[in-house]
């Protein structure tokens, strides 16, 4: 007996040995006959004991409850785990399937006994010393540091990707109690008693047996018995929310008004994001705060996608892992200048470069109404500004006087968007919350309303408008829905693009001047999407920012390479190569959110405006030129093509700033000095 037990212990010491049959008497021996002192924990299907080998090595012995035991459950777990070897899945070391004849009192308390054959079913696993995830997650202000939480999230995603795509297994009982944490804080998925295995061509099945844990069960599985990978994705989303926030509460998707649901989800995301940012910034000597904040934002966004009520809108485990790995690669590739390098650069710039001349254009017609939006008419030397309470002011930037004032009839909603259509001698207006309407005006020989129409049945604001450069089209974005309007068809909506997420809001739209069939949209989900007018779904999704993306612009360098510049509330602007769809440059970290990005149409200059009123000028080859700070914020930026000027609007005034197409020697020298 001792010799046989010694052989078993020797095999259990081998990390590469396949799972083996282990006799019941051997397991009784190493657990002190399943003593109370050896007990590690108890679950819905059995008790886990600590098994100690003579060498001191420990294995976990799971003894399944005899009265609740279903042979199918035991066989499932053994067969599924036999061939699985992955760092994020608990490793099966052995199993026991024996039967013993025992005298059982029947009925209980009668003093009468009958002999029955009792099945003994046990599973043996690698011993995980740090207990389950449930013991580690708590309110975000306590417990694990962020980098540990992030590694655990990635570990769970990696394990689920392996189970779904390599093993074709659906777990069906994913919860913190079934995720074990080892001594290195590596997450390991455990407890496969409820799992189902799919054939190569299967994607879902229907079952009447809906076992699982409330709070983690997907609605389609709980209500209709639909079993698919997306059921696990829902459970994983709940777990990620719990890891980040310490609880599994999240906003309700099922609200009467989709705008309210989207706002609720956005508010939840911002609250979690801000909470972690404050915690990280208050941690002494904490490194890479911005990196961690980006990860928090990305993870909470992914988690909310995972718990979407519609299974079709949830990502796959592979999708999630690619998003997280993409963020990690982007952060690793970006190495910002040190504080000393930045100071050296700015000192060289500030001592050699004159401040640009500012000219203020005062719009005296609506002095008390806050300015929200602006646009340039390049043929008439006009600037149109949209204001609160339905006011539009058009002024002549050469004469520096107001041309006309328009008050939209019976409307007090803010003018969130205004665009000139010079070839038609029109301008269009998109109103904010409380209206949800688009107004069309002609401006020759005088300003006159042509038509108006509501974009959606709810009184939701228009987030963005974009005019096609050659076709009779206008794009609008409202509550995340992008629609294409044809003015030659009496402003008929000719296309409605697919909304990828229930709570997505597409914040700005821009047509590609080199390919007018293509346009870009920025979103509160931290992505930039590239679309084609011929398809209802985006062609590409650019993912790199860690907060909502506010603005976007296409531009081309003098070597005819096309790029995209985006600005975000994460205080960074990013440059994307349109050929490779990769981020090639990051500007920031600025002092506040980037709310405007503009490429000058005739000069190789990029202009970045931040919410605090600072304007940054960069060359299109990504050399820093100069910066200017004004009071009152920067509500809008645009360019005057023939004059080499930039127009900036804040809440109370308009400014024009002359920019020069130059690369001063002092700047080049400063860059070379920093590089060396």
For residues 293 and 273, the answer to whether their CB atoms sit within 8 Å is yes
Q: Write phi, then psi, for 268 (nearest 5 degrees).
A: -60, -45
Task: Retrieve residue 204's tokens.
Answer: 């879902």
Residues 361-381 have a mean pLDDT of: 70
According to DSSP, residue 600 is labeled -
pLDDT digits 0-9 by tens, 252-267: 776 555 556 666 777 7
- The tokens for 548 are 């909502």
Structure tokens given for 101: 């004849």
pLDDT of 348 > 60? The answer is no
User: Average pLDDT for residues 128-134, to the nearest whole number?
Assistant: 85
Please tell me the least confidently modeled range out of 345-359, 383-397, 474-488: 345-359
The pLDDT score that the predictor gives to residue 345 is 32
Query: DSSP code of 31?
Result: T
pLDDT band at 358 (very low <50, low <70, confident <90, very high): very low
pTM value is: 0.55
Note the pLDDT tens digit of each residue in 589-626: 888 899 889 887 777 788 888 888 788 888 766 666 67
Share the mean pLDDT of the chain. Answer: 79
The pLDDT value recorded for residue 354 is 36
Would the pLDDT of 641 be above 60? no
Q: Of 158-172, 258-272, 409-423, 618-632, where does mean pLDDT reach its minimum?
A: 618-632
pLDDT of residue 664: 42
Helix (H) or strand (E) holding 640: strand 636-640
Out of 24-28, 199-203, 248-252, 465-469, pick the least confident. Answer: 199-203
What would the DSSP string read from start to end of 411-453? --S-EEEEEEEGGGTEEEEEE-TTT-EEEEEE-SSS-EEEEEE
What is residue 271's predicted lDDT score, i.e. its pLDDT? 84
CB 530 within 8 A of CB 562: no
Mean local confidence (pLDDT), 361-374: 64
Residue 55 has pLDDT above 90, yes or no: no
Q: Looking at the predicted structure, is the pLDDT value of residue 674 above 70?
A: no
Cα–Cα nearest to 207, from 222, 227, 223: 227
* pLDDT above 70: percentage of residues in the chain: 75
Q: Annotate 88-138 with DSSP letters as a single string.
A: TBPPEEEEEEEEEEEEEESSTTSS-EEEEEEEEEEEEEE--TT-BGGGT--
Residue 525 has a pLDDT of 85
Radius of gyration of the chain (CA): 31
The SS3 of residue 610 is: strand
Tokens 């339905």 belong to: 390
- 2-126 folds as Phosphorylase Kinase; domain 1 (3.30.200)
The predicted model gives 492-505 an average pLDDT of 82
In angstroms, the CA 571 to CA 608 distance is 11
| CA distance linking residue 81 with residue 432, whole number of Å | 56
Is the pLDDT assigned to residue 363 strictly greater than 60?
A: no
Exposed/middle/buried for residue 112 (C-beta within 10 Å: 0-12, 13-18, 19+): exposed
* Alpha-carbon span 362 to 162, nearest angstrom: 63
CA atoms of 424 and 43, how far apart (whole Å): 72
For 143-152, 161-170, 533-542, 628-637, which range has the lowest pLDDT when averaged over its residues?
628-637
Task: Please report the pLDDT score of residue 519 as a whole number.
Answer: 97
Q: Which of 96-100, 197-201, 560-564, 655-659 is the least confident region?
A: 197-201
* Average confidence (pLDDT) over 538-546: 89
Task: Find out whether 366 and 391 touch, Cβ atoms under 8 Å.
Answer: yes
Average pLDDT of the residues in 277-284:
78
Query: How much is the pLDDT for 156?
Result: 96
Q: Which of 404-418, 441-455, 632-646 is modeled with the greatest confidence?
A: 441-455
State mean pLDDT over 58-67: 82
* 509 vs 648: CA distance, rounded Å: 20
Q: What pLDDT band is residue 642 in, cutting at 50, 70 and 90? A: low
Residue 20 has pLDDT above 60, yes or no: yes
- At 62 the pLDDT is 86
**Distance in angstroms (rounded) separating the CA atoms of residues 589 and 17:** 51
Supply the CATH classification number for the domain 133-333. 1.10.510.10
Give the separation between CA 290 and CA 331, rounded to whole angstroms. Answer: 10
CB 225 within 8 A of CB 207: yes
HSE of 462, CA atoms in CB hemisphere, 13 A? 30
Closest CA to 247 of 176, 150, 152: 176
Q: Is the pLDDT of residue 494 over 70?
A: yes
For residues 386 and 364, the answer to whether their CB atoms sit within 8 Å is: no
Name the most confidently modeled range: 192-201, 365-374, 375-384, 538-547.
538-547
Phi, psi (deg, nearest 5) at residue 421: -120, 85
Residues paired with 564 in a beta bridge:
554, 576
Q: Quick check: 359 pLDDT over 70?
A: no
The Cα–Cα gap between 530 and 513 comes to 13
* DSSP per-residue string spanning 33-82: TT-GGGEEEE-SSEEEEEEE-TTS-EEEEEEE-TTT--HHHHHHHHHHHH
Overall average pLDDT of the 196-217 stretch:
60
How far CA 381 is from CA of 83, 87, 602, in Å, comes to: 73, 65, 16
The alpha helices in 338-490, defined as continuous H runs, are: 339-352
Quote the pLDDT of residue 344. 34
Say if residue 145's pLDDT is above 50: yes
Q: Write out pLDDT tens, residues 437-468.
A: 899 999 988 899 999 998 865 556 888 999 99
Query: Is the pLDDT score of 251 beyond 70?
Result: yes
Return d(Cα 563, Cα 580) in angstroms, integer: 10
Q: Which of 158, 95, 85 is nearest to 122 (CA)?
A: 95
Is the pLDDT assigned to residue 75 strictly greater than 50?
A: yes
pLDDT of residue 259: 56
Secondary structure letter of residue 311 according to DSSP: G
Residue 476 has pLDDT above 70, yes or no: yes
Query: Which of 92-96, 156-160, 578-582, 652-656 has the highest average model confidence (pLDDT)?
Result: 156-160
Per mean pLDDT, which range of 332-341, 396-405, 443-452 is the poorest? 332-341
Query: What pLDDT was estimated at residue 572?
Result: 92
The pLDDT assigned to 621 comes to: 66
Task: Give the pLDDT band (50/70/90) at residue 357.
Answer: very low
Given pLDDT bands bounded at 50, 70 and 90, which one contains residue 26?
A: very high
Asked if omega into 477 is within 30° of 0 (cis), the reply is: no
Tell me the DSSP string of 503-540: T--EEEEEE-SS-TTEEEEEETTSEEEEEETT-SS-SE
Residues annotated as part of the active site: 173
Residue 117 CB neighbours (<10 A): 8
Count of Cβ atoms closer than 10 Å to residue 48 Cβ: 19
Lowest mean pLDDT among 212-221, 386-395, 650-659: 650-659
Winning range, highest mean pLDDT, from 285-294, 579-588, 629-638 = 579-588
To the question of whether residue 63 is assigned a binding role by annotation, the answer is: yes
Cα–Cα distance, 144 to 649 (Å, whole number): 45
Q: What is the residue extent of each domain of the chain?
A: 2-126, 133-333
Please identify which residue in the block is written with the tokens 């693009």: 497
- DSSP letter for 32, please: T
Asked if the model's pLDDT at residue 21 lies above 50, the reply is: yes
What pLDDT was estimated at residue 337?
37
Q: Is the bond preceding 445 in cis, omega lying within 30 degrees of 0?
A: yes
Are 586 and 334 a contacting pair, CB within 8 Å? yes
- For residue 592, give the DSSP letter: S
How many Å from the N-terminal Cα to the C-terminal Cα in the chain? 73
Question: How much helix, strand and coil, in percent to the nearest 5, is found in the chain?
Answer: 25, 35, 40
| Strand intervals (E) in 143-203 | 169-170, 179-181, 187-189, 196-197
pLDDT in tens, 215-245: 898 998 888 888 889 999 999 999 999 999 9
pLDDT value of residue 70? 65
């Amino acid at each position: 007996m001792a010799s046989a037990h010694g052989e078993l212990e020797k095999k259990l010491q081998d990390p590469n040995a396949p799972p083996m049959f282990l006799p019941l008497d051997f397991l009784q021996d190493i657990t002190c006959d399943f003593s109370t002192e050896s007990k590690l924990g108890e679950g819905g299907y059995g008790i886990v004991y600590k098994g100690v080998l003579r060498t001191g090595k420990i294995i976990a012995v799971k003894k399944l409850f005899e009265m609740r035991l279903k042979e199918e459950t035991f066989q499932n777990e053994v067969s599924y785990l036999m061939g699985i070897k992955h760092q994020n899945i608990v490793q099966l070391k052995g199993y026991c399937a024996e039967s013993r004849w025992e005298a059982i009192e029947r009925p209980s308390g009668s003093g009468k006994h009958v002999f029955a054959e009792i099945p003994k079913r046990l599973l043996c696993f690698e011993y995980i010393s740090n207990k389950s995830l449930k013991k580690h997650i708590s309110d975000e202000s306590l417990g694990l540091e962020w980098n540990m939480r992030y590694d655990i999230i990635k570990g769970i995603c990696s394990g689920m990707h392996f189970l779904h795509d390599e093993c074709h297994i659906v777990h069906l009982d994913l919860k913190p109690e079934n995720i074990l944490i080892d001594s290195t804080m590596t997450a390991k998925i455990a407890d496969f008693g409820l799992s189902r295995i799919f054939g190569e061509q299967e994607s879902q099945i229907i079952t009447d047996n809906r076992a699982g844990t409330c709070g983690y069960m997907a609605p389609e599985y709980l209500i209709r018995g639909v079993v698919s990978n997306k059921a696990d994705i829902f459970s994983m989303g709940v777990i990620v929310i719990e890891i980040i926030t310490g609880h599994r509460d999240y906003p309700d998707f099922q609200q009467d008004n989709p705008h309210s649901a989207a706002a609720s989800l956005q508010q939840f995301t911002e609250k979690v994001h801000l909470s972690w940012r404050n915690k990280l910034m208050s941690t002494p000597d904490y490194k890479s705060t911005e990196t961690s904040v980006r990860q928090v934002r990305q993870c909470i966004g992914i988690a909310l996608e995972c718990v979407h009520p519609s299974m079709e809108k949830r990502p796959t485990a592979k999708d999630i892992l690619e998003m997280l790995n993409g963020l990690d690669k982007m952060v690793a590739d970006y190495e910002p200048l040190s504080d000393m390098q930045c100071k050296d650069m700015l000192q060289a710039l500030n001592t050699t470069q004159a401040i640009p001349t500012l000219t203020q254009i005062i719009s005296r017609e609506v002095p008390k109404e806050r300015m929200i939006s602006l646009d340039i008419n390049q043929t008439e030397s006009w600037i149109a500004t949209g204001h609160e309470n339905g006011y539009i002011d058009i002024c002549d930037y050469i004469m520096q006087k107001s041309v006309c004032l328009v008050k939209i009839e019976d409307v007090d909603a803010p003018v969130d968007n205004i665009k000139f259509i010079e070839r038609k001698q029109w301008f269009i207006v998109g109103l904010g919350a409380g209206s949800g309407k688009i107004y069309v005006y002609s401006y020759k020989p005088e300003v006159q309303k042509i038509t108006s129409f509501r974009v959606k049945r709810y009184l939701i604001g228009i987030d963005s408008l974009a005019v096609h450069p050659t076709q009779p089209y206008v794009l609008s974005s409202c509550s995340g829905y992008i629609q294409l309007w044809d003015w030659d068809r009496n402003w008929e909506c000719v296309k409605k693009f697919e909304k990828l997420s229930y709570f997505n809001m597409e914040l700005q739209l821009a047509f590609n001047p080199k390919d007018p069939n293509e346009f870009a949209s920025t979103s509160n989900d931290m992505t930039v999407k590239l679309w084609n007018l011929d398809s209802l779904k985006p062609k590409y999704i650019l993912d790199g920012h860690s907060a909502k993306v506010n603005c976007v612009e296409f531009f081309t360098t003098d070597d005819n390479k096309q790029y995209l510049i985006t600005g975000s509330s994460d205080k960074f602007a990013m440059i994307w190569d349109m050929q490779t769809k990769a981020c090639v440059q990051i500007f920031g970290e600025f002092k506040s959110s980037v709310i405007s990005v503009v490429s000058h149409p005739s000069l190789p200059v990029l202009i970045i405006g931040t919410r605090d009123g600072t304007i940054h000028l960069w060359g299109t080859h990504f050399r820093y030129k100069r910066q200017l700070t004004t009071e009152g914020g920067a509500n809008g930026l645009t360019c005057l093509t023939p004059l080499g000027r930039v127009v900036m609007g804040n809440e109370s005034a308009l400014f024009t700033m002359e920019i020069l197409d130059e690369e001063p020697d002092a700047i080049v020298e400063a860059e070379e000095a920093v590089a060396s």
